[in-house]
Amino acid sequence: MPRAKPHILFLFSDTGGGHRAAAEAIIEAINLEFPGQVTTEMVDIFLQYAPPPINLAPRIYPHLSQMPNMWEMGYRASDGRRRTRFAYTMLWPYLRNSLERLMTNHPASLVVSVHQMINSPVSRTAQVYGIPFVTVVTDLVSTHAAWFCPTADLVVVPTQAAYKRGLEMRMPGDRMQVVGQPVADRFTMPPGDRIALRERLGWRQDLPVALLVGGGEGMGPLAATALAIDEARLPLQLVVVAGRNKQLRQQLEQHPWKIPVNIYGFVTEMPDFMRAADILISKAGPGTISEAFIAGLPVILYSKMPGQEDGNVDFVVQEGAGVWAPRPQLVVETLRTWLAYPETRRAAAINAVRLARPDASRRIARLLVGIAAPRITKPA
């Protein structure tokens, strides 16, 4: 009887932070690096296996993300090694049966978490079943204490700052590796012909392109920022991605624009949008920042989730890859400067390329398969 293929179970939840996207990017990389040799599976740990009221987290998150002060209070109150250890000790009797059911229903060679709030109890359960456990940290710099479970076989982190934070949380250094943020393979493709891309997208060739995004849900003061740019009548064309926020898209489409503008809802062509643009204006999400670095885009960050994304802003600014502009007028002033002095924009773009880690997803894939199936080697 042929031996079953190694099976890797990915645990995620749609509670911000690009957890789903990170898992999908790693699975894609596994299939590219080891075609047909490994099977994978994704489970939304909160929706499918968390007991009430924890299972409501994905439903609550979009509303909570609109209340930054409350979000920050909860983040900071829970962010500490002793606090997380105490919380999980208290929750363990309540979670145990659900997690044992998870392991029984989804037998795996390796369990991988891409969500910070489940690592300690999942690691504890995986140990009982003799299954290796790996965490892939999907926050870029400001990493919550819950990411770092000292019993994990490996914790993959995106930056040196995250590695340092892990050491502070008593995570053994030999069980952490700095690899980078996992992104979909389509973001790592060669840049192609920008002129041809703009032609296909219907964008003008004679004006710089500022790409304004707010994540898949169109979060942050995106509308106010877009309207301030329009009111300033800057010599550029604006591309706005409103994501799944239909009300926002409709509001923007009804506005009498003074500058050239293209408005989109949720798009699947973001890699081409980034390759065809000159500047990215974005919320400080880790995935978007990492994708911008790969595209060589200078970044204007106009919004962040307090606590969770504070370090992302510091990282971009300190490394010279962009600017923090938390008010629409500051975004306008930065754009005006970058348009008047293109060398400042080019310097930020050079720094973005320096920080890029386009091979992160494939490197993570090789690490995971090496743990799940040490005998498998990458095809020549």
Q: Which residue has the tokens 């898992």?
A: 23
Total domains in the fold of the chain: 2
245: domain CATH number is 3.40.50.2000
**Does residue 57 lie in a domain region?**
yes
Between 219 and 256, name the one with better pLDDT: 256
What mean pLDDT do residues 57-67 have? Answer: 71
Query: What's the pLDDT score for residue 217?
Result: 59
Distance of CA 31 to the CA centre of its chain: 20
What mean pLDDT do residues 242-247 have? Answer: 88
Same-domain status, 344 and 368: no
Strand partners, 323: 300
Q: Which region among 6-20, 308-322, 331-345 has the lowest average model confidence (pLDDT)?
A: 6-20
Query: What's the pLDDT score for residue 130?
Result: 96
Q: How confident is the model at residue 196 (pLDDT cuts 50, 70, 90)?
A: very high
Query: What's the pLDDT score for residue 320?
Result: 98
Q: Which region among 116-120, 196-200, 273-277, 296-300 has the lowest average model confidence (pLDDT)?
A: 116-120
Residue type, 251: Q
The string of pLDDT tens digits covering residues 84-93 is: 988 898 989 9
Same-domain status, 22 and 39: yes
The string of pLDDT tens digits covering residues 13-46 is: 987 658 999 999 999 999 999 999 999 999 999 9
The string of pLDDT tens digits covering residues 119-166 is: 999 999 999 999 999 999 999 999 999 999 999 999 999 999 999 999
**For residue 62, is the peptide bond before it cis, meaning its omega torsion is within 30 degrees of 0?**
no
Q: Domain range holding 318?
A: 186-355
Sequence-distant (6+) residues with CB within 8 A of 17 are 115, 116, 138, 139, 285, 286, 308
**Does residue 2 lie in a domain region?**
no
DSSP per-residue string spanning 3-46: PPPPEEEEEE-SSSTTHHHHHHHHHHHHHHHSTTT-EEEEEEHH
Q: Output the pTM of the full model.
A: 0.92
Same-domain status, 346 and 202: yes
Whether the Cβ atoms of residue 337 and residue 344 lie closer than 8 Å to each other? yes
State the average pLDDT for the chain.
Answer: 92
